[in-house]
Structure formats: structure tokens, C-alpha cells
Structure 1
């Protein structure tokens, strides 16, 4: 509000008072008026300098000059009161404007005032802050400046809607995006209402803009996550889940690369599981060390903290390793570390070839996607293991029943039913003991040493020193453990009847080793009897020999060599093993991996 011309009133009143006093003095022609006249001069001078408390000294109030002095002082008091009232009004207006400004700032409101008679648009200070426009550069034509920062997808629509406001009294409500000078995208909600003038035509329009970016980003994020969940719900293969997530996230955020990989906590070696990239970007598969990114990246990832880099070229945290970021074309990036049970297990990473100001909503979205993807992949892997175990169990049950049928048929061919029944029960007992070992391991496998110990248990009670076991602990899958246990039982039974355990001095040595061939790892197990009666090759194969050969050759794809030496039987079996890196049964036997395996 403009200041009232109160000093002009003061000067005018002083001039009147001075004129009246001077006239009275001239009429009276007395020297006694000189002193009050001087007081008038002093009062007028004080008024001119803003002192409204100045008064004329009054002598005799009954004289004409005294009457004029009283009238002058009375007028001065009223003007002083008016000035105080005016100051109070101005103070209230200033406080109201301040409260309005604070309310606009708190609510994030930017206001337009559009006078249609002159075409002039006035913006509130908050509107400039919302848009990031410079007030000095934009206030002459804020509408043009506003058009310039509109998102390309919203520009034509919003320009048309706003230009309709001078033509209609209908209210306007719309949402749109702007791109600020720092590259960030903000969502604004516009509400406009025109005031009617003559002939019900718009005279003036007030437009309110509200920043709704947080709520809009939450809405978009939740919608994306919901759609993503629908896409991966029916997927059963981990690779399909990861590729679907990476592609959806990459296109949604408009980045140049999205990858997901597993990490060795000790070596910080990343194994890429999926690598989605924009057109023209190179493929990055395989194994990659993370140490070239620097200690900051490795330490943050091991601690499970997200790494958000807007511009690697100017970020002091990676200044010593910026060449790596440039070489991989990841100037702007987000890395989500997944630490489980205290160890870094996996990561989701996003790369952008240029710098990017990541919003808080985008950062939270990446964190949510990483966790949900981990859960989905773990669930898919668990389901795959369960299906594998079920299929394995079905296969084992069928083979076990076939084995029992064969054992029964051959055991009861013996003339003496008591002997046949004893042989049948012994074989069933050996089979059940192996099942006990598998059950303890939840049918995920059995340790070879446990299998050997169970097979030799009947002969170890009193003669434990008569057999030796040499070999590294090795976890075997059920499809290998069962036929191998049956073979060891047949060998131990044959040794008790005819071989190393049939005499007081006989011994048995069981040893195994692992070799790596071109087609994968292979187990070689050797059974050697010494100190027993001389052996010679039988004229026909008994059931035990056929059981060994059938179980280890037909089911395991291995070989069996029965060497009947004079010093005792030597049985050598060899069969392939699954690759250690792809079979969970081998997690207890790290020596199967790579260079730790002895070569043939």
C-alpha cells in the first residue's frame, strides 16, 4: 500500500495556522505576539521533520492568539492520532502479507494475478521459486517464460487451457510437468478461476499452482511396482524374472543400463546375472572385479548402503577412480547393495551415460525393486529346488521299489528260506540306513564318509582296525548315494562270506579321489581286500555282482572293474559328478571347485 501524503497535510495545516497567527499579530500590532509566533515557527519545522508531537506554547488562552494556539494544538493532536491509526493499519497489512507469504511458502503455492484489461500477469515470489525461473529475467513476460519450461508432452495442452481463461468463467483444474534449469522434473497442479466484470466477461483471473511432485511420484512408483509384480508373478525361471525387472525399470526411468549380479563378499567379484541396456550400449556379461571402482564403492557396498552418484565427473567421492566410470559410460548411477546374513550377496545397478539428478522417489523405487527382485528370485530358486527334490524322490522311490523287488526275487531263490530271509533283511536294512543318512540331510544329499561308515557298521563293532577309509569329505546327491550304498553293502557282505572279513587277518581299504576331466569332475572309488583267502574269477556272476554293475553303470553312467586277485578282491568304480558350481549338494565340499580338484 502506498504511503498517504500525510506530510502535505501537515504543511498545509501549519501554513493555515501560521497565516492566522500572522494576521492576528498584524491586527493587534503588539510585541507580545512575537514569542508565540516563534513557537509556531518551531512547531511547523518539527512537523516537517516528522515530529507530530510538536505543539505551540500557549500563553493567555483568552487572547485571540491563545484561541488560535488552542485550535492549532487540537488539530495537531487529531492529526497525530490519525497518523498512529495509519501506522497501525500499515503494520496489520504488512503482517497479513507476511502471513500470506508464509502460508504460500509452507503450502508450496505459486499465484498468478492476470488482469485481462491490461493483459498484465503478475507472479508471486513463490511462483518463481516453484519454477526455478529468475525473477529479474522473467517478470516482464512470465507467461512466455512458463511456456519455455513446460514438459514437451504437456506444453501444447497447457498452453491451450491457460489461453482459454480470458474467454470463460469456467474454473480450470489441471496437472502438468515442468523441467527446471537443473534438469529435475516437477509436477504442478493448476487451479484457475476468473472474476466476472461487465457483461459477465472475465475481468481478472487468479491462478494457484501447487507442487504435487512427492504425491505424484508415489502414485507413479506404486503403479509401476504393482504392474511389475503382475508381470513376474507367473514367471518361474530366475533369469526371466531378472530380465523382466531390468527391462521394465530401465524403460521406466529412461536410463542406459540396468543390471543385476551376485557378488563374492571376500573378493568383490561381480557375476552378471542379467544386463539390460539401451540401444547402442555394449553388452556387459561375465565376471567383473569391483575393486577398480575404489575403496569408497567397495566399503559402501559391503556395508549394505546405497550409492547414488549424480555426476561422477564432479563427485569427490570417486575422483580418484573417475576414469573407470567414464570407460563404462556410467556418469550418473545408482547401486543398491543386498547384504544378507552379514555378507554382500548381490546388487542392482543403474547406469546413465550422462549426469542425472536422481529424485528421492527414484532412489526409493530402486531400493524397493532390488528387494522385491531378490525375494522373487530366491522364491523361484526355492521352488526349483523343491521340484528337483520331488522329481528326485519320485525317481528314487521307483528305483528303490525295483531294487527291493530284485533283491527279494534273488534272495528267496536260495533253497533254505531262513538263509534267503536273512539275506533279504540285510539288504533292506542297508537300504534303510542309507535312507536315514539322506533324511538327516533333508534329502539334499549324503556325505560319502557317512555312507561308508553305515555300510561297514556291522563289521566295525569288534574289528574296527580291520578296515581303513581314505578320502576327503564329499557330499553326494541322492541319485548317487543310494546305488553306491547298495554296492558297498554287497561288497562288505561278500567280504564277510568269502573275502577279507572271513579270516582273522583280513583287511579292507576303501579310498576315493576326485579327478577333473574335460567333461567335468569324476569320482573314483577303490575297494581293496587283503589277508583273506585267495580269490579267482567266478564262472558266473552272482546277484551281488549284477547289483553293483547295474546300479553303478546303468543308473550313474559309470564303470565297474572287479579284479579277483590272489591277494583279494579289488573293485574299482568310477562315475561322473555334477558340476560343483551348479549343484547345492556340494556346498560342503569346496575342494570340488576349479583348481582344487586333482587332475587326471
Structure 2
């Protein structure tokens, strides 16, 4: 913008504030809906008094709390007067906004004893932390069981004593409920496993038996304690040595193995046992069964198939059987109830084409053909259409049954397990965790670096407090811009404008911003905001803004470099006191020249001509 019109911030001319007037940041600004309610609340009618009389410790705590994305509530004074942020208002539900300004013991009467203990400990300078604390609350007029992670810390006032208690309230009800549902699901799964006609044993990496289902124990014919906790060789000293080698092979190669062997049980019974071992995590899942009847007589095989039919109809999963080529022989009742089909499909190919989601059909048939070719387990996850027309995720797993004489596949025994809710929940949970970890780590790393450097280079506590607050407010303002843009990128003009806004005053024309609308990534936005804060602070103390005639010009542009577009930004002061090059670099200079250069993967240089400080930044925009 030209000098005649002057730069504009928020639709008005930009100037610089009168440095003779102390600067008190509006701690309620950007405080959301709750911040607006606090601003207009009649605090004079409460024990903590009018907002104009609030101590700085209370103002600072409220300002930080309002900008936090985490539910927080401040219990101020001996009465525990409640002041909270927007996320906490969501937690309070129907009690918001009546809770604002109320006594915590009266605001939450159903947990008054709990909060009384919190106030007693906090106002004595102690801290409290609860994980998955169960409480009964009346947030919506009816009692509800809720679980929360609660952290309480005292807030020290100007007298050096606790002036209130700050609480971080994170509700974990959904997680607790989900875990309870998961335990119920695991219990049902245990019931299914114990209802299976096939024995199942789980082994760890040392081939120690860690669990068995009911059928496996029945086949063992001895108490559980004689088998569980022992290695395969300790529990079955007379087993075929080839069986142990099979287990070692499965563990070493990570592929399923199978065999049939003749085994004499400890109680004297002799059986033919078919074993299938599958690597699971760092151990093995071993399915096995007594196939003596199948070996000795075909009639017994038909009887076993009939029992399989009855058992399959009893389990909640879809159970099915095909021949070696995939021609269907059996579907249990659950298939027809879920799909609404009145007749069974003719083949695996028809199942894929008529019931499986089009995006999953090719992978399903490819996995089936691989299993047929390798005589291995068929396993795939795909979506199956219900009778209502919706698709749900299923884990499909089938074992091949081979002719004992030829070793060729005779048929497939399969099960389709509904995993839709678990899969959707896991994907959503992982997305939220990754996003939260990324944002929190980046913010904490920045705050930690700024705080560490500020405290290390400050000459006094007051100086450290002033510098730290200014830098954190600069970081907060940059965060606000990025938040509005969903943390994808930010307009450089907005970043510069926010950074110099505290140093502008009406009726003056001393800050000039010149540059195109350039989108910069979040990392660059935060780094530039911190650098501009340092330059502006230095200008107020010693440079162009320390008198009534100084001017600052901030100009930027984009140039095409060999590896892509590059940002060139220049801060130039003039009209201020004569500048002398400092004998040593302070923290602000080092922050700009070193940290900024590293954060931007470019260069940042400060020079000190007599006419005024100049800072030049050159960095890639990618």
C-alpha cells in the first residue's frame, strides 16, 4: 500500500500505540461464546467483584483458559466461583450458562462433597488427579453415570497464596462405555469359541500353551491345570516329533502349516488328530480335532457334517461350506437372515458378484484363488450387502478340508464375522489420536522452546514475564489465523497484520504493509509471527517506534527459484533514533536468525544500519 493512503488493519488506518500508555491485552478477546458471556456478566454481585478489579493472576488464567481447546473451569476464591471456557460449556450441557459465576458446591449439588474436598486441597496448595473417575451428574435433568479424567491445580495470586483452583475436565464416558462393550464382545467371542466343534489352543513364542477352548479341554480329557502353562512337549511328551517341527516351521516362516498324526492320549485313548497352526502375533493359534471317525468310516463323516450344520445354525456368525472349486453346499440360517435371500447362491463367484461390494469383489476372488492354489487358509475382509441394502464389513475366513488319502482339497469350511462397528471405531479413534498427538506435540514443542529461551535470557522475573506473555500472545494470534483455515495454510497478510496490530494506534501512519496475498504453510506462519513480534517489541523499546517520527515498512513478494517459489520478506525501520550495531546478540536476534532459519529451511538476517534495523527473510514456500 502507498504512503499516502497508509496501511489498513481491520478496515482502518494503522498507526502505533502511544508507548506512554501501559498496554493491557484484552484477556477476553477470542474467548468464544463463553468469553462474551464473561464480559457482560455482573461479577460485582459475586464474591470476586467487578471484572475491572480482577487481579492480573485471575485475568491471565482466564485468558489462557478461554483459548484452550480442552474443557477447563476455574474455581476462584474460597467460595469456588465458577469461570469456564467453551469446551466446558459443552460438558455442562443443560446447566450452561447458569453455572457461570455460581458457587461450585451449589452449581453441582449432587457432587458437592467431592468438590468440597477439591477446594480444600487446592486452596491449601495441593494438586489432585483422577483417572476415569465415576460420578453421577444431572446435566440434562436426569441422573447419568459419567466417567472423567480430572486434574486440579492451585492458581497462585499476587499474594503468593492460592487464589483459586484450575480444573481440567476430560470426559471419558464414551471410551469407558466402548471398553465395556468390548469386554462384552470378548465374552461373547469366548462363548462362540467354547461352542465351536473344533479345538483351539493358543501358544506363545516359547510354544507354551496359554489358553484352550472348551472343546480342546474336552479332547484332552484332563484338568485344565495339567495343560495350561506348559510347553507343547511338556503337555504332550508322547506326541509325534513331526508335530513339534511343524510348530517351529510355522513360527519361523510366518505361514500356516497343517498335518494329521496318530496320538496316544495320557488316559490311553488313541486318536487321529488333524492340526492346523496359524501364526498370530508372536505366537500360534492351533486348531485341531479328532478325525478318527472320518478316517475310519465315511458314515461317521456324514454324521459329523450334520452336527456341523446344527452347530453352525446356533452360532451368531455366517457359516458356509463349498466344494473344492467353490460351488456352495451349505449356508447357515444367519446368511439368509442377514441378506434376505431365499435360496443359497450357486458358487463363490455368485456370492462375490451379487452380494459383495463392487470395490471388494476382485480382492475377494483373488484371495480365494490363492488359497485354492496353495491349499491354505482363505481369509479376506470385505463388505456384504444386507437385506436393507446397506453394506457392512465382514472378516471372512475358511479352512480347506483335504482328502486324507490324496491330500487334495475336498471342501471349504468358512465363517463370516461382522466386524463393521469395530473397524469403523478403530479407524476413527486412530484418526483422532494421530491428529491430537500431532497438534499437541507441535504446540508444546514451540511453547517449551520459547519459555526455555525466554527464562534463560531474562534479567529479571518481571522481564521474563513480560517477554513470555508477549511471545505466547503472538503465538496465540497466529494459531487463531491457522485455526480459521483448518491448519492447512494461512494468508501471509493476515499473519503480518495480526502480529503488528498491538503496536498500531488511530490517527497515525507509521506501519506500512506491502505485499501480495500469499498462502504460507502452518510452520512458516508460526515462525514469522514470532519473528515479527520480536522485531516489533525491539522497535518499541529502541527503534522506529520509540519516538514520534519513526516508520516501519514490511514488504514481501514471491520469486521463482530453481527448486520452486521462494518468499522474500523485508522489515525496514527508518526515522527512529540512530542505530548502533549491538556488541552481542540477544535472544530476540538469535530467535530470528537461528531458529527462524531452521524452521523455514531458509535464511534470516538482521543488519543494523544507522538509519534503522533491517531484517531480510528468504525461504522456500513449499
TMscore range, shorter length:
0.3 to 0.5
TM-score, normalized by length of structure 1? 0.34
**Which of 1 and 2 has higher RCO (CA within 8 Å, sep 6+)?**
2
Q: If each structure's strand is expressed as a fraction of its own residues, which one has the higher value? A: 2
TM-score, normalized by length of structure 2? 0.32
The structure whose Rg is larger is 1
